[in-house]
Structure 1
């Protein structure tokens, strides 16, 4: 491999010169989105992401949370001073003891709670990927010392500029009967190598793309040695030349009354096209090593991000429990046994996930670089795939027709209609307006296009749920179970 090494570009592995001003605030975040990125929606190029009607609400919500990093009461929980003397987000903290791991969790909890569990790819998730890339340094250095140095620099640069990172792991759903070696356009790949870097071509799905400063790319497709050009880890700025983001239909720019969740938290899903995008060598963390790209990403990188995802899931479940309970209470059904059973089921799911998260902290693993990484919680990903549809079923059973037969906000402003709505729309202990707001939220979370997207994302973002379950089986140590059978039957298998 050619190109300047990390040492030649001043990227040593010791204490480094600060690379940025540290933790973002809302103003800096909003201003940073105006960088010439190529974002497309409904056939229109969006030149001003932060102020466009279809992106503004999400941008403002994120800005509000970034401001918490500088407010008394949350500053110490969300940030820390790194060895270079820069105050940075705890999303980039590399925990070396249990206290550090808990500090990472507390920061993630604030982000998840403030976004009501609605952002599946909130910034803490992909910052955790950057931590994982750096933590793989011992393995990356065996492939090429430059890879490890680049991953360490990426982590420092992202932390000290508090980058909002996206990640692209999945290629478009093209003809799955063909492997990348048969159809090279199936998966992102190197099309040219230069002295100063590589040129990549392909496409990836990226959530939060329009609001991200950079995108981290890695493969999830199980590549073989003949497909080495597709085995890549790298990061690229969201405004890189020839990089285009094509957004799905937006759920935002709608009334907060009618759509209380989607009007504020449409994180957007984008098809990101790399139309021969140049990536400098210093932004490449692994190249042309299929076996390592597959193995290390699953075993060493994603463990950090999956932990962040579990925190987000707990916040989402809390919102669903609260919504379901209030639907039952204001509908006069909270004393019915079958409703209590269904709400108890929701609460049980939440407690199971909380226990899984706690177990990951207790069963932490010390990595070769001395970090305390969360224990493996692949079974958490498997379990949400098993129950996500059931969660929505419960909400529908409790809400029934109340999720659908609701007047609009404008109806309440009509003098002729208001007395009738107040009479026939009220609930137990609440007026018609309050009850309608609650029902609108429940519909937004379950039946609306936004709710459908949330459920689909939660169930499938880790891949085919059956494949995830099979992975749990494959990784499970079956020897103790077999030994128990052998002892009871006095038989050797």
Structure 2
């Protein structure tokens, strides 16, 4: 049954070992660095219980009669994807910001492995059974699920066996109860999640068919032997009045140490066989990319809103140069929107019978969203103007001695008084100029994989044969030209 926010908070008060800024955290749910984002995740759970949003955030399972989260539902129809999109929009509208690592964007990685059940069956039938069981556990137990991918890596010019073997997570021992793993992973939100899908980042295994580094499993983030060493947070560095996003939506990144952690056999999804590891790397984002691209769409909305309010305040909206910049932001936003919408409308059947967003459209949309984001942020900075980087803090506006000067120079007219002007400039600064803004930009450029991998995904999923067939016919090439189709073919539409 779907959980409440309080039930979620209770589930992570499990004496897990969490460190931040050299301090061992006693209760993660009330620690100032974690509390705001944990409250957001709890709010998402509670939205599924409130009358106004229950039917948007959850659905009734026909087999059990229980309500489950829309975000964790296996996608089988176009409507399922429309429902997921609406649920994410509902969350973002409710919290007044953007959060990425909250569960709906990572469960899709397990659906990708679900599509590889035939591969897993060839390796070991137990693994296919395990992935199916864990997907149903996610549906019915409603855990906060994250995904642990990135290793510390070490010297990438050498194989792991020629350096500290723990530079990449690996199996050090088999037991009757399960496998023992050691190493480390970076993962956002791991410290306050329930479980993580852990898998390797190695893309090229060479000729090796078996490797102790080829291991994937689901792990309880409060399990013995796991240590969460977190980066410093943005919360509390400055007042919330000056940094409204940094103080509310900082998603803490964690170096997760696996210090001889037991993974029960029922939680192992693949082990040793590099073919299974290669499969999951090549298909990892076939579903989860949708959630990431949707977040980019909402980022575009925030930039457009902040920029448009600023130019309207100062009477610049009617200038052609300003309108052109606003139009460029709108084009960026609608390009993302078009890819999301079209990827649902032309969805494809997956090997396990799920509905994948059209892979070529989804991945090309991701490239557009991520590669253009830095330029769009800079464009929004131009439109917001230099005052986002020079405006004094809220304390200056509140001070009775100097507040009158702030009112004088920040009030524009009866519709835009100094307090609203200050709030908008503070919001724009935190969205576009702050440490938090820089962190989010870097995060977007690597979190799903680096840009070159985004383009590789496009290359693997774009159907080149129609263009080749078209040119073969137009150029009158002979039938000796092989590996082509004479006529363009349509993708299989689910």
Whether 2:311 is the aligned partner of 1:328: answer: yes
Whether 2:360 is the aligned partner of 1:360: answer: no
For residues 128-187 of structure 1, what are the alpha-carbon distances to aligned partners after superposition, in whole Å with 9 as ceiling and x for unaligned? 333333343343223211111111221222222211111111111422212234333332
Inter-CA distance 129–116: structure 2 relative to 1 (3 Å threshold): farther
Whether 2:59 is the aligned partner of 1:74: answer: no
Does structure 2 conserve the Cα–Cα contact (< 8 Å) formed by 1:117 and 1:313? no
| In 1: Cα distance, 2:443 partner to 2:115 partner | 28
For residues 16-44 of structure 1, what are the alpha-carbon distances to aligned partners after superposition, in whole Å with 9 as ceiling and x for unaligned? xxxxxx11212112222211111110000
Runs of at least 5 residues in structure 2 that lack an aligned partner in the other structure: 482-494
For residues 323-355 of structure 1, what are the alpha-carbon distances to aligned partners after superposition, in whole Å with 9 as ceiling and x for unaligned? 111122113222222221111111111111111
Does structure 2 conserve the Cα–Cα contact (< 8 Å) formed by 1:327 and 1:398? yes
Shift, 1:116, TM fit: 4.6
Shift, 1:95, TM fit: 2.8
Inter-CA distance 422–259: structure 2 relative to 1 (3 Å threshold): same
Inter-CA distance 42–401: structure 2 relative to 1 (3 Å threshold): same
2:432 aligned to which of 425, 446, 450: 446
1:28 aligned to which of 7, 16, 21: 7
Shift, 1:464, TM fit: 2.6
User: For residue 5 of structure 1, what is the aligned residue in structure 2?
Assistant: none
Does structure 2 conserve the Cα–Cα contact (< 8 Å) formed by 1:39 and 1:246? yes
Inter-CA distance 124–441: structure 2 relative to 1 (3 Å threshold): same
Whether 2:254 is the aligned partner of 1:270: answer: yes
User: For residue 187 of structure 1, what is the aligned residue in structure 2?
Assistant: 168
Shift, 1:430, TM fit: 0.6
Does structure 2 conserve the Cα–Cα contact (< 8 Å) formed by 1:111 and 1:124? no
Classify the secondary structure of the residue corresponding to 1:302.
coil
Please report the TM-score for the alignment, with normalisation by the length of structure 1. 0.90
Greater shift, 317-326 or 274-283, is seen at 317-326
Classify the secondary structure of the residue corresponding to 1:210.
helix
- The alignment yields a C-alpha RMSD, in angstroms, of 2.0
User: For residue 323 of structure 2, what is the aligned residue in structure 1?
Assistant: 340
For residues 206-240 of structure 1, what are the alpha-carbon distances to aligned partners after superposition, in whole Å with 9 as ceiling and x for unaligned? 01112211111112321412661111221111111
Inter-CA distance 375–220: structure 2 relative to 1 (3 Å threshold): farther
| In 1: Cα distance, 2:175 partner to 2:91 partner | 40
User: For residue 200 of structure 1, what is the aligned residue in structure 2?
Assistant: 181
Runs of at least 5 residues in structure 1 that lack an aligned partner in the other structure: 1-21
Does structure 2 conserve the Cα–Cα contact (< 8 Å) formed by 1:112 and 1:312? no
Mapping of 1:48-447 within 5 angstroms?
A: 48-82=27-61, 83-116=63-96, 118-183=98-163, 184-224=165-205, 225=208, 228-253=211-236, 254-299=238-283, 301-376=284-359, 377-427=362-412, 429-447=415-433
| In 2: Cα distance, 1:89 partner to 1:160 partner | 9
| In 1: Cα distance, 2:277 partner to 2:64 partner | 31
Inter-CA distance 181–362: structure 2 relative to 1 (3 Å threshold): farther
| In 1: Cα distance, 2:271 partner to 2:409 partner | 64
For residues 280-312 of structure 1, what are the alpha-carbon distances to aligned partners after superposition, in whole Å with 9 as ceiling and x for unaligned? 01001111121221223432x421211122222
Inter-CA distance 101–381: structure 2 relative to 1 (3 Å threshold): closer
| In 1: Cα distance, 2:324 partner to 2:156 partner | 42
Does structure 1 conserve the Cα–Cα contact (< 8 Å) formed by 2:178 and 2:263? yes
| In 2: Cα distance, 1:251 partner to 1:158 partner | 31
Whether 2:442 is the aligned partner of 1:461: answer: no
Inter-CA distance 177–59: structure 2 relative to 1 (3 Å threshold): same
The number of equivalent residue pairs is 471
Inter-CA distance 488–339: structure 2 relative to 1 (3 Å threshold): same
| In 2: Cα distance, 1:355 partner to 1:191 partner | 47
| In 2: Cα distance, 1:470 partner to 1:89 partner | 32
Does structure 2 conserve the Cα–Cα contact (< 8 Å) formed by 1:92 and 1:131? no
| In 2: Cα distance, 1:159 partner to 1:318 partner | 31
For residues 354-387 of structure 1, what are the alpha-carbon distances to aligned partners after superposition, in whole Å with 9 as ceiling and x for unaligned? 1111121122122233222222122222223321
Inter-CA distance 171–488: structure 2 relative to 1 (3 Å threshold): same
Classify the secondary structure of the residue corresponding to 2:211.
helix
User: For residue 6 of structure 1, what is the aligned residue in structure 2?
Assistant: none
Greater shift, 85-94 or 111-120, is seen at 111-120
